[in-house]
Every structure is written in C-alpha cells, then in structure tokens.
Structure 1
Amino acid sequence: LATAAPAQDGPPAQRPAPESPAPGSLVPESPGFASDAPAATSGAPEQPASTFLFLNQERILTDSETGRKLLDEEEAARDALRGDARAIDAAFEDEEQRLTELRKTLSSEEFRARADDFDARVVKARQDQDARSSSLAQDLDRRRRAFYSSVAPILVKLLGRYHAYAIFDESSVLLADDSLNITGAVIAEIDAQPPAAVPVPPATLDTVPAPLPAPGRAAPAEGDQ
C-alpha cells in the first residue's frame, strides 16, 4: 500500500484571484467593455458592461444648443401672445373709460346698447385669446416631441456603444451608479451635429391665429364731435 502523504503544517498556498473590473463602468477602455479580442475559450457569452443606462431628459433640452434654441423660440412666442393680450386689454380699458364718460350724454337705451356691444366684444376677444393660447401650447408640445424624436437615433447609437439593453429617464431610477448616466454623452452628440432647426410638424407657430385687432373706439354721441 502507498504510504500516506505527510501532513502539511498549514493550508496549501492559493494563487491570488485576478482583480475584477468595477461593475457598470462606461469608459470604453475599461475592462468592463466588450473588446475586439477573441472571447474566452470557455464558450460563455460575453456580458455587457451594464444592462441599463439612464439620462436626464430635461437637461438634454436645456443644456444642448438645439434645445436652447427651441426654448428661446418658445419664450418669444409666449411673449408675443402676452404682448397682444396686454394691448387688447389696454384698448378695452380705454374704451370702457370713454363709455363711462359718455353715459352722462346718452339716453339709457343707447347707453345700454353700447354697453352690451362692449361686453360682447370683450367676451369674444377673451375667447379668441384663449383659443390662440391653446393653439400655441399644442404647437410647442409638438415641437418638443419633434426634438426628442430627433434625439432617438443618438440614444440607439449609445445603447449599442455601451452594450446596454435599455435607457431610463433619471426620474424613474431609484438608485444607480452615476457612471451609468449618459446625459452628458447625449448632449455632446447633439451639439456635434450641425445646429439645424428642429423638424417642425405640420402645425407650426405660423398657423397660430393672427393677433386680434385692437377694439375700435366707441362712436361719439351727438354733439360730442
């Protein structure tokens, strides 16, 4: 019979395990990324650096050149609408003051007729202004949707670059490594493209109803020429 091996004074020495790359690293040069080198001989499929990424959609809009241009156009359109509303309100206030002054010289029937006509025009002007405001809001929403649609190919490109399966908005991610945030990379890709205008859907700002005419001055009473 073979003799038993002599007992060891301690456990056999173990070879140190190789250091593993930090999980979720998005740096292309890091070991966590798939490379062009042949796969390991074990035959196991190569794993991506991360199964998901996330970004801040609002920053894509506010921090990119194209997005800031879109926001500037939105603010200009809102300012124009507010300016029209202020001008119309001021004109109606002046007319109301004149109508009040004419009340002393008008019969009750004529004054009531003028007052009713004035009230009807005020209501109509407010309805028209509300319609213009709603139309503008819908148009601005379409423009933003067009902007994000134009960003979609960039997201697809980065999805493949980082070997990920999904991209989530930052607001839907409870906790994640900041290295998985690709907002900066998306903005860089947007700014690297020519600053062309965002594609505009069929309904554009040009289709918003034209500014309303200022209310006409009330007709003077007899002897008030």
Structure 2
Amino acid sequence: MMRPDWVLAWIGAAGIQLAAPGFAQGTQGFPLGQSFDEAAPTLQLRTLNEERLFRDSAFGQRVAAEIDAASRALELENEELLEQLTTRELELTEARATMPPVQFRAAAEAFDREAEAIRRSQAEKRQRLSMYEDAEQRRFFQLAAPVLQQVLVSEGAQVLIDSRAVIIGVSGMDMTDPSIAALNEGIGDGAPSPTPLRVP
C-alpha cells in the first residue's frame, strides 16, 4: 500500500529520515556515494506503526468516537426519513384511484424529486464523515511530527521507518507505544477540531 502524500509531507517537515523500499540512495539521509553498510556502525533505526499510532492515540480515539456517534445519529435520521417516505408513498398510491391521471402524475413526480433530494442530502452527510476523518488524520500527523522527532532522539536513533517495510527485525525497534504515550501527553485528544463535525 502506498504511503499517502501527506504522510510523507509531515515526515519531511519534521526532519525525520525515512527509509523504505524503493527509495534511492541519497534520499535516505546518507551522503551521495555513501552506502548503507558504511553508515551502519552509527545508524540507529526505529519502526513505527502509523495506523496504530493514530487509532490507539487519545486523538484517534476521540475522532473515532465522534464519527461513531454521528454515524448512529445519521442512521436514526435515515430510518425516520424512510418511514416518512414509505407512509407518503402508500398514501399517494391509495389516492391514485380518486385522482385525475394528470394530477396523480404530477404528484408522483414531485414525490420522486423529493425522495431523490433526500437521498442526495443523506449521501452528502455520509461523505462529510469521511472528509472529517481524513482532515483530522492530516491534522494529527502534522501535530505529531515534532513529537515523533523528540521520541526518535530520546531513543537514540536517527532513522524512522514504517513497520510494514520491515521484513526481518529485532525486538526493541518499534517505538509506537512510547510515541502514543508522548502524543497523548503532548497534544492530547486534539479537541476542539477547527472544523467541527456536524452530521446530521
């Protein structure tokens, strides 16, 4: 899975050196012409699980709770709207026998337009949930960058890599847990969001 551009952006902004498969020599923090083996005696690496970093942090848990609450409220609203539309459709069907064809056709078309407008509105609300989560993830990693830099330094390491890029490693390389603890202390749950979630 490719790393999103915004993840690379916050890593670069923090001055964190990133090693991952496919990166050319000279882009991993080594001078051009210097091999990994030559730098290895003084190079300390740490790994980070980016997904768990967000998911298990106070920030990520707050976002998940907000989205869950908004999703449940949206589902309740959808159920109420569906019930209302179903009732009106039945009423319209029953009235068909007593309405002139032209009048019924106009009423049916108006009902269809209203139902479609409601469907689009509810779909847009669902989309706002995804947009909110994406925006909060971007904000989280922007705030996390300097904290991760401090944790990396405290670990005595110079290079941070995504744990998914590791094929074989040794115990003690992962700094996800201390990073989560540092982020919870440093930035907390990130509330309030500059773009509050308003759904429905």
TM-score in same-fold range (> 0.5): yes
Equivalent of residue 197 in structure 1, options 184, 190, 199: 190
1:127 is the counterpart of 2:120? yes
- The runs of at least 4 aligned residues of structure 1 exceeding 4 Å deviation read none
Deviations 1:105-146 (A, max 9, x none): 112111111101101111111112222222231122101211
Instruction: Give the letter aligned to residue 100 of structure 1.
Output: T
Q: Distance in 2 between matches of 1:74 and 1:136?
A: 6
1:97 is the counterpart of 2:78? no
Q: Which residue of 2 aligns with 1:112?
A: 105
Report how far residue 172 of structure 1 moved.
2.2
CA RMSD, Structure 1 to Structure 2 (Å): 2.3
Report how far residue 199 of structure 1 moved.
6.0
Aligned length: 161
Q: Secondary structure at the match of 2:184?
A: helix
Report how far residue 166 of structure 1 moved.
2.0
Q: Distance in 1 between matches of 2:163 and 2:92?
A: 57
Contact 1:53 1:166 in 2 (8 A): yes
Q: Which residue of 1 aligns with 2:62?
A: 69
Structure 1: state its 5+ residue gaps. 1-44, 212-225
Q: Distance in 1 between matches of 2:109 and 2:165?
A: 54
Contact 2:47 2:175 in 1 (8 A): yes
Q: Distance in 1 between matches of 2:132 and 2:68?
A: 13
Q: Which residue of 1 aligns with 2:141?
A: 148
Query: When the two structures are superposed, what TM-score results if normalisation uses the length of structure 1?
Result: 0.64
Report how far residue 196 of structure 1 moved.
4.8
Quick one: structure 1 residues 199 and 144, their matched pair in 2 at CA, closer, same or farther if it must change by over 3 Å? farther
Query: When the two structures are superposed, what TM-score results if normalisation uses the length of structure 2?
Result: 0.71
Quick one: structure 1 residues 198 and 54, their matched pair in 2 at CA, closer, same or farther if it must change by over 3 Å? farther
Q: Which residue of 2 aligns with 1:81?
A: 74
- Larger RCO (alpha carbons 8 Å, 6+ apart): 2
Is the helix fraction higher in 1 or 2? 2
Deviations 1:8-30 (A, max 9, x none): xxxxxxxxxxxxxxxxxxxxxxx
Q: Distance in 2 between matches of 1:99 and 1:161?
A: 70
**Which deviates more, 155-164 or 179-188?**
155-164
Instruction: Give the letter aligned to residue 109 of structure 1.
Output: V
Contact 1:146 1:198 in 2 (8 A): no
Percent identity, please: 28
Structure 2: state its 5+ residue gaps. 1-38
